[in-house]
């Protein structure tokens, strides 16, 4: 099965890619995909996508087909053929 993973903002800079197709197995979850991506892109990716900012905001929002994973089953959300996963870091402005 294949999914599309899109990287935005500083995560795109870390991966040096705007999107990739990723081969997954039936039953794989967002958690599995994130571990795969951490192995592929290293420490900088892991630091940018785990934990929270000093304000308590998660370092990354993860959307599956346009829906925030927090409103699905979180990291345990199982993925299907053709799903689109988007990693969005927090945006600051003023």
Q: How far is residue 60's CA from residue 29's CA, in Å, rounded to a whole number?
A: 16
In contact, 62 and 85? CB cutoff 8 Å:
yes
pLDDT of residue 56: 61
Residue 4 has which token pair? 């599309």
Q: What H or E segment, with its residue span, contains residue 4?
A: strand 2-7
Instruction: Give SS3 for 53.
Output: coil
Q: Which domains occur in the chain, in start order? A: 2-88 (3.10.20.30)
pLDDT at 59: 82
Kindly list the averaged pLDDT for each block of 10 residues, start to end, along the chain of length 94: 96 96 96 95 91 70 95 95 94 61
């Amino acid at each position: 099965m294949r999914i599309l993973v899109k990287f935005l903002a500083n995560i795109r800079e870390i991966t040096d890619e705007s999107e990739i197709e990723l081969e997954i197995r039936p039953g794989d979850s967002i958690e599995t995909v994130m571990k795969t991506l951490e192995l592929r892109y290293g420490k900088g990716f892991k630091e940018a996508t785990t934990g929270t900012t000093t304000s308590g905001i998660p370092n990354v929002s993860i959307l599956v087909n346009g829906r925030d994973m927090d409103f699905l089953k979180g990291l345990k959300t199982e993925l299907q053929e053709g799903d689109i996963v988007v990693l969005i870091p927090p945006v600051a402005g003023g």
